[in-house]
């Protein structure tokens, strides 16, 4: 190693339990955290899974709130807090994707209670101290150590029924976390290696799972890649890609995973003009061409969404989105102005292949 190299490695602060059948460890983790009663958080679609988990915990050890929704609206958090307080719970268990996990983070930030996250998609937010909340049509993001779950339980069994559409979209979302870590302002050699391995794992696993959703080895590899991607996102700062996703999700209510999947080739292609060498792990893991093109072709191969217009955005919406995106300054490896962001968004709106 170069003797003049210096960096800060933030460490990984969540306890991770990874494998198949690991849902059986929820009670063990509650005891380890000295928790006696949990509020289990799910979306309406996963309430049945939440009830099954409550039954597994047994007795009066858990209650279920199934109102989690995308982008963590503050009014939903208030409702969940009322249930939390009336149930006399002392921890939260978030079962699901980013919606449930975001709600758990919002409650933990406001109360200081411990969290156990049981992710069922490849979103990766369970490994970060990042919370994005929506209120009055805008999404705000903050980082705080209190936001990070104490324990994350990855159970491959809970991903086996994940529909193909969500599998590929959340998988692309996961790649986005690793991609931005590669050029983050606070990147370091350890996290860069983890990001490269995450991209390699997901590049191999997602086509296999898309072809055969029951491929257990593929599911395990995809979940491993998602864990790595979430961990590197939790250890680095976000840039243009995540900013644009938060703008579209918070102000236009676009679906989280699909927005990431569509924008990723374009934001990476845009930044490749400035940091193509840092993005080489993407090209290496895919087809060897420029990273934006490689991701766009990969998305098409997976039958992932590739056009913002298909999410209900009008072309006129792009003007407002570009305006919001440049409202507050933030780091990005390539400088940009509002006109450049508007052009990037239009390419994503029509699904044009990025130039790089």
Please give the pLDDT value at position 192.
96
Does residue 3 surpass a pLDDT of 70?
no
Does residue 216 surpass a pLDDT of 80?
yes
CA 61-62-66 angle, to 5 degrees, is 180
Nearby residues of 75 by Cβ (< 8 Å), 6 or more positions away: 135
Name the architecture of domain 15-159. 3-Layer(aba) Sandwich (3.40)
Please give the pLDDT value at position 139.
80
Q: What is the mean pLDDT of residues 290-307?
A: 97
Tell me the chain's radius of gyration from C-alpha atoms.
Answer: 19
Q: What is the mean pLDDT of residues 103-121?
A: 97
Query: Cα separation of 307 and 323, whole Å?
Result: 20
Does residue 355 surpass a pLDDT of 90?
yes
Cβ burial of 274 (10 Å; 0-12, 13-18, 19+) is middle
Confidence of residue 123 (pLDDT cuts 50, 70, 90): confident
CATH topology classification for 164-350: Dehydroquinate synthase-like, alpha domain (1.20.1090)
CA 56 → CA 14, 17, 46, 102, distances in Å? 23, 18, 16, 23
Q: In the chain, what are the domain boundaries?
A: 15-159, 164-350
């Amino acid at each position: 190693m170069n003797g003049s190299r210096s960096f800060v490695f933030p460490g990984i602060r969540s306890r991770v339990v990874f494998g198949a059948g690991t849902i059986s460890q929820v009670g063990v983790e509650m005891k380890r955290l000295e928790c006696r009663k949990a509020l289990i958080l799910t979306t309406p679609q996963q309430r049945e899974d939440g009830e099954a988990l409550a039954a597994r915990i047994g007795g009066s050890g858990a209650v279920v709130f199934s109102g989690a929704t995308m982008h963590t609206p503050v009014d939903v958090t208030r409702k969940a807090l009322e249930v939390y307080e009336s149930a006399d719970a002392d921890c939260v268990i978030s079962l699901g994707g980013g919606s449930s996990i975001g709600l758990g983070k919002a409650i933990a930030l406001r109360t200081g209670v411990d969290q156990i996250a049981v992710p069922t998609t490849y979103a990766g937010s369970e490994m970060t101290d990042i919370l994005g909340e929506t209120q009055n049509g805008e999404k705000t993001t903050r980082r705080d150590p209190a936001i990070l779950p104490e324990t994350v339980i990855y159970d491959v069994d809970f991903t086996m029924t994940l529909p193909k559409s969500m599998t590929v979209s959340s998988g692309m979302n996961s790649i986005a976390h690793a991609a931005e870590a590669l050029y983050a302002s606070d990147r370091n050699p350890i996290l860069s290696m983890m990001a490269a391995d995450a991209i390699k794992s997901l590049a191999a696993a997602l086509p296999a799972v898309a072809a055969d959703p029951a491929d257990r080895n593929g599911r395990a590899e995809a979940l491993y890649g998602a864990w790595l991607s979430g961990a590197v996102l939790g250890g680095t700062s976000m840039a243009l890609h995540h900013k644009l996703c938060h703008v579209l999700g918070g102000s236009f209510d676009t679906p989280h995973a699909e927005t990431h999947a569509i924008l990723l080739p374009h934001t990476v292609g845009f930044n490749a003009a400035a940091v193509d060498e840092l993005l080489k792990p993407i090209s290496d893991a895919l087809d060897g061409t420029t990273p934006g093109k490689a991701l766009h072709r990969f998305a098409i191969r997976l039958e992932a969404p590739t056009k913002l217009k298909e999410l209900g955005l009008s072309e006129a919406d792009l003007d407002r989105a570009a305006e919001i995106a440049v409202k507050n300054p933030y780091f990005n490896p390539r400088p940009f102005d509002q006109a450049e962001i508007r052009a990037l968004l239009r390419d994503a709106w029509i699904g044009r292949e990025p130039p790089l």
